[in-house]
Chain A
Amino acid sequence: MTVYLFIILGVFAILSALMVVFTKNPIHSILYLVLTFFAIAGEYVLLNAQFLAIVNIIVYAGAIMVLFLFVVMLLNLNKETEPHKSILRQLIAVIAAGILLIVLVGSLKGADTMTIKPFAQNTGYIENLGQVLFKDFLLPFEVSAILFLAAMVGAVMLGKKDIK
């Protein structure tokens, strides 16, 4: 059962990811990307990481994709125009990605041989994650506040009109 679910969700994720890249209309691309995120969230559930599955949907599909949609509509970009088409470059892109894939898959084969600990049900539970986040990862958690502050100040600075 789990195996079939994995395969279905995986194929679904790959197909919609391909559609993200190949669809002409940016709005459709965004919607396909949301589908991909849902499929990936499904994989998280299979891995018993329910909390991350929910967070993935809320943060990515909910917040980030809405931001994308907002910008596309704000700038009125939902046209299917892409003037500069170069077959050569597209060919190079496909070949480069293909080579990268072959290299990655080739070198990553056999990871199963590494020591795998017995399965514990509660690894991805929210209580467990909270313990790790606020004990072991307290400092990165605090430092990421600076990251957000910098991003916020930067976005506002770029967005606002200069008053001379």
Chain B
Amino acid sequence: MLGDLKTIPLDWYILLSSILFCIGVMGVLFRRNAIIIFMSIELMLNAVNLLLVAFSAYHNDAKGQVFVFFTMAVAAAEIAVGLAILVVVYRNTKSTDIDVLNRLKG
């Protein structure tokens, strides 16, 4: 099954991850709920991972796949910190709606 990998054009992978990336961007701009914005950012990172793996396979070079480890590590660290900040915000405002956070203006 895997032998005929190159029957799929690389363009298709680029198209797929571009679409996923843009859905992530849209989610960040579209939703006001912080949790869902976080998830959209995760989606963006996953789209990038997919593209990295595709390039790595087509270049026949493992470096791209190793880079995916690092993006996963960073995503995990970011989410841990982000959710901790979110919990702190929630403790004070009782909301995760980012429009509630509008004290800083000017």
Are chains A and B touching in the complex at the 8 Å CB cutoff?
Answer: yes
- Name A residues whose Cβ lies closer than 8 Å to a Cβ of B: 1-3, 6, 10, 13-14, 17-18, 20-21, 26, 29-30, 33, 36-37, 40, 43-49, 52, 55-56, 59-60, 63-64, 67-68, 71-72, 74-75, 77, 82-84, 89-90, 92-94, 96-98, 100-101, 104-105, 108-112, 116-121, 123-124, 128-129, 131-133, 136-137, 140, 144, 147-148, 150-152, 154-155, 158-159
The chain B residue with its CB closest to the CB of A26 is: B35
Instruction: List residues of chain A with CB within 8 A of the CB of B11.
Output: 108-112
- Name B residues whose Cβ lies closer than 8 Å to a Cβ of A: 1-16, 18-27, 29-33, 35-36, 38-40, 42-43, 46, 49-50, 53-54, 56-63, 65-66, 68-70, 72-81, 83-88, 90, 96-97, 99
Q: Is the CB of A147 within 8 A of B77?
A: yes
Given A43-B50, A46-B8; 9 other pairs, CB 8 A cutoff: A10-B16, A20-B23, A47-B54, A82-B32, A117-B59, A123-B62, A136-B66, A154-B84, A159-B87
Instruction: List residues of chain B with CB within 8 A of the CB of A13.
Output: 16, 20
Q: Is the CB of A111 within 8 A of B66?
A: no
Q: Is the CB of B66 within 8 A of A104?
A: no
Instruction: List residues of chain B with CB within 8 A of the CB of A118.
Output: 60
What is the CA–CA distance of A154 and B40 in the complex, to the nearest angstrom? 23
Q: A36, A119, A152: which contacts B6 (Cβ < 8 A)?
A: A119
Instruction: List residues of chain B with CB within 8 A of the CB of A123.
Output: 56-57, 60-62, 65
- Given known contacts A26-B36, A40-B49, is B57 in contact with A124 (CB within 8 Å)? yes
Q: Is the CB of A154 within 8 A of B81?
A: yes
A-B interface, 5 closest residue pairs, ranked by CB to CB distance from nearest: A97-B26, A93-B29, A151-B77, A93-B30, A21-B27
Q: A45, A46, A55, A68: which contacts B38 (Cβ < 8 A)?
A: A68
Q: Sample 27 A-B pairs with CB under 8 A, ordered by A number.
A: A1-B4, A2-B1, A6-B12, A10-B16, A14-B19, A21-B26, A36-B43, A40-B20, A40-B50, A47-B57, A64-B76, A67-B79, A67-B80, A77-B96, A97-B25, A98-B22, A101-B19, A108-B11, A117-B61, A119-B3, A121-B2, A123-B60, A136-B63, A151-B81, A154-B81, A158-B81, A159-B84
Q: Is the CB of B96 within 8 A of A37?
A: no
Q: B18, B43, B84, B88: which contacts A17 (Cβ < 8 A)?
A: B43
